[in-house]
Structure 1
Amino acid sequence: MRHSFHPSILREYDIRGVFGETLGPDDARAIGRSFGTRVTRAGGRRVVVGYDGRLSSPLLEHALVEGLNASGIDVVRIGLSATPMLYYAAASIPDVQGGIQVTGSHNPANHNGFKAVLEGAAFYGADIVDLGRIADEGDWLSGTGQTTTIDIMDAYVDRLIEGLEGVDQTLLEGLSIAWDAGNGAAGPVIEALTARLPGRHVLLFTSVDGHFPNHHPDPTVEANLADLGLAVARGRLDFGLAFDGDGDRIGAIDGVGRTIWGDQLLAIFAEDVLKTSPEATIIADVKASGALFERIAELGGRPQMWKTGHSLIKSRMKEIGAVLGGEMSGHVFFADRYYGFDDALYAAVRLMAATVRLGKSVTAMREAMPVMFNTPELRFAIDDARKFEIVDEVRDRLHAAGAQMNEIDGVRVDAPDGWWLLRASNTQDVLVLRAESRTAEGLARLLSEADGQLAESGINRGSILGH
């Protein structure tokens, strides 16, 4: 037997599709068989599986487990869970070689997909392409695997709480925090975690509901933080936290309702981590503010800019021994006293620890950050092949003009007062433009420069898709 996937679902960082249209149980079963074949050929025999709160997730999880068992793999099921729980289970359960989470992350309610880890490393790029090849060729191993079910929640919450070790308990008791789960899979963990945390905690939308009735669980969209802002204001709380649908991305607001973006959160974490790991390397993605890289260096750390994508950041951190990493999208990766995977719940605990250890409120730290003028991600619909050609054309023209730029992921063009970035998305048929300056006039000039380059390649910024 063979199986061919819809060409749109095998993505760079994970596997994603529209349930009932491009993705269904047969695909999940084939993914299980292909991944199980990879695990067996690598000498493994046991895989952990979890799923998020989407309506289609239990059905896809069932088919995935069938496929894994049919390849001879024993499966440990952890049930409804946040993605970091799956990563934790794969890292902590003895004799487990891999893991797969059924999750649609922050995507629309009718979407779903899979995130995987193999032998403690991110499973992405060529690995995902290889799953497609194995299925297309029917190059599957066969066997009869067994299935067991375990409850990982208590052990996971114990591990999260370790993020507060050595922090003054009295000062932690004084914190007041709002937590918005957005009806995603992180809700039950947040309930269990906050029941054991010091301080006062206000919980929003922790019941798991795949219809997402209150707001969509994407904390990078400010409109989705409105309920959190009201809770912080009404309760006069210190700060608020928001989570995406599977709990691996974090959003935050301070005590006066200002958004704390992913790179700004990373600046706070960097200050805390560098106290105990001086001169450590900290990675941020190419979309992050120049102010972040300057701040890391100012604190004595070694900033490194890297490609956008949670799997790419995780792999780079492991490769060079970085203690901390993050993305504008809200993925935060702690290798400092943790495992190096993206865990928004652990990041939340570490934010509590940081504000106490540094002796500064989250609001004060947000207030002290430099004022920068920047755009959100400006996205343009572009044919899949053409998007890479356009970036190459812009790069060639900038080289000819002697521009100063970073080419690690697209082109990030540096200027004395800021920068602009053009990159091709690895997950969608779009180009992404972002710019930042220390002045409004500088931002306008940088955008004009970027527009000029796009125009030379036949692209008009009027075709914006939005943030």
Structure 2
Amino acid sequence: MKLSSHRFDPTSLREYDIRGIVGKSLGDEDAYAIGRGFATFVRKAGGTRVAVGWDGRVSSEHLRDALVDGLTQGGLDVVRTGLGPTPMLYYAEATLEVDGGIQITGSHNPAEYNGFKMVLQHGPFFGEDIQAIGKLAETGDWSEGEGQVTDFDIEDDYVNRLVAGYAGGEFKIGWDNGNGAGGRVLEKLVKLLPGEHHVLYAEIDGSFPNHHPDPTEEKNLADLKKLVAEKNLDFGIAFDGDADRIGAIDGLGRVVWGDQILSILAEPVLREVPGGTIIADVKASQALYDRVAELGGTPLMWKTGHSLIKVKMKETDSPLAGEMSGHIFFRHNWYGFDDALYAAVRLIQAVRVLGGSLTALKDKMPALVNTPEMRFQVDESRKFAVVDEVLDRLEKAGADVNRTDGARVNTPDGWWLLRASNTQDVLVARAEAKDQAGLDKLLGQIDEQLALSGLVRGEQAGH
């Protein structure tokens, strides 16, 4: 392919990645232009070689070929590391002699989507950098050259690194790969783990025939719950479509949410890194921050978004971070990127160290009532403005507000959050209280603030 310039569909250039519907807002020409633009960035930074990985979606190999075309014509050598989960590409970028990496993946989006997640010199490539790829494409001001393509199968290296130093004990575990890109790695991984393992939907299938690959939605965990109940397993673990997000259930089939997983993982880490900074996003429960403090750690609330959290971890030398959405990041004995397969290995180890029962750990957690993440459509031009209006009113009223990412409001009944999504035209709200009456009060406060800005917490938007 040869293009002298290119214009992207503006909806495809997101905050943390480039993503769209294949054939509508994303295609081979976009992939080529991304390659040319990324090559220009890497060359400017003095780099010469990048890794490329891809997921199991129907469109991924097509997009890969166009991307590699663009990268090599931009003067970079490309090492193709194979079909697999996003963290396998991150691992390749962290350990091979390369200056960056790109994973082609639609993550947990429906089958017709695809996209690109990028890393430059071991750091996330996002925000203004992604916008700059768009500007470079419009002018065609790209680097030129003739790069070489090689293949390097990194899968076995990655699997062996996942279990290096493993000390997890013998458990009976159910796994749900959801037909996502982590399937082959997972099958190899469970063969190396002691105990009894039952794997659902290991086959990588980009049409996701069994259920949508997003473990943060409880309905997608139905098959795993059934497996755990029928075979009387200790617990269950699930992954999203590209295995950078984890979900878990205990032996009774109760969901262990992202912030609860983080609170379990934090305990063994803080034994080894006393006083360490543990980061979570603004959607996480107050119970998590309290637990980290109780364990002698330094809790830090930060903005939602995997790229933003990675940057903050480096800045604060944090050994562990996580998001409600199931992105878990280890810098303690790992590389600082979000990896659900590695988080699963560490979760099994943590359960063993903390008494051997995930069900008992879940039982000990404070009983709080909370809403799921509520998302509702709002005009793109209004979404940030509404949050600013709400913040102004709350501060005038003397409310206890944290402005890290939107408005997080503490009240005697609990807390509520209203923030604008960075990636979609939606507002996101969440609330948590000690009981239902408290939760109703908090929802009333959210509704009141929205009404004052001319909005209703109406139809919830999908992902």
Q: TM-score, normalised by structure 2?
A: 0.98
Structure 1 residue 72, shift from structure 2 partner: 0.5
Select between 431-440 and 101-110 the one with higher mean Cα deviation.
431-440
Alignment counterpart, residue 80 of structure 2, candidates 77, 81, 90: 77
CA contact (8 A) 2:292 2:299 kept: yes
SS of aligned partner of 1:453: helix
What does residue 229 of structure 1 align with?
Answer: 225
Offset of residue 78 of structure 1: 1.1
RMSD, aligned CA: 0.9
Q: Answer whether contact 1:163 1:346 (CA < 8 A) is retained.
A: no
Residue of 38, 43, 47 corresponding to 1:44: 47
Partner of 1:124: 126
Matched, 1:187 2:183: yes
- From 109, 114, 117, the equivalent of 1:112 is 114
Distance 1:222 1:377 in 2: 12
The residue type paired with residue 133 of structure 1 is: K
1:202 aligns with 2:198: yes
From 156, 159, 162, give the equivalent of 2:158.
Answer: 156
Distance 1:466 1:62, change over 3 A: closer
1:380 aligns with 2:401: no
Q: 2:319 aligns with which of 323, 326, 334?
A: 323
Contact between 1:9 and 1:17, CA under 8 Å: does it hold in 2? yes
Figure out how many residues of one structure are paired with residues of the other and give that number: 460
Question: Which residue number corresponds to residue 367 of structure 1?
Answer: 363
Match of residue 332 from structure 1? 328
SS in 2 for 1:162: coil
Find the counterpart in structure 2 of residue 135 from structure 1: 137
- Cα deviation for residue 385 of structure 1 reads 1.2
CA displacement at 1:69 relative to structure 2: 0.3
The alignment partner of 1:421 has SS state of strand
Q: Aligned with 1:263: secondary structure?
A: helix
Once residues 57 and 50 of structure 1 are traced to their aligned partners in structure 2, the CA distance between those partners, rounded to angstroms, is 9
CA distance in 2, matches of 1:462, 1:73: 49
Report the equivalent of 1:268. 264
Q: What is the Cα deviation at residue 465 of structure 1? A: 2.6
Report if the CA contact (8 A) 1:420-1:436 is conserved: yes
Contact 1:179 1:241 in 2 (8 A): yes
Letter in 2 for 1:110: E
Question: After TM superposition, which residue ranges in structure 1, 4 or more long, deviate above 2 angstroms?
Answer: 462-467
Contact 1:87 1:117 in 2 (8 A): yes
**Structure 2 matches for 1:60-459, cutoff 5 A?**
60-94=63-97, 96-162=98-164, 164=166, 167=167, 172=169, 174-459=170-455
Q: Encode CA deviations 1:228-247: one digit per residue, 9 max, x unaligned.
A: 01111111111100000001
Q: Aligned partners of 1:288, 1:308: CA distance in 2, in Å?
A: 10
TM-score (norm 1): 0.97
Question: 1:413 touches 1:420 (CA, 8 Å); kept in 2?
Answer: yes
8 Å CA contact retained: 1:418, 1:438: yes
Aligned 8 A contact 1:163 1:353 in 2: no
Q: Aligned partners of 1:128, 1:27: CA distance in 2, in Å?
A: 13
Structure 2, unpaired ranges of 5+: none
Q: Deviations over 1:228-279 (max 9, x none)?
A: 0111111111110000000100000000100010000000001121111111
The structural deviation recorded for 1:464 is 2.7
- Give the AA of the match of 1:127: D
User: Offset of 1:466 from its aligned partner?
Assistant: 5.7
Letter of the 2:39 counterpart? G
Cα distance in structure 1, aligned partners of 2:165 and 2:12: 36
Shift of 1:163: 5.2
Picking from 19, 23, 42, the partner of 1:20 is 23
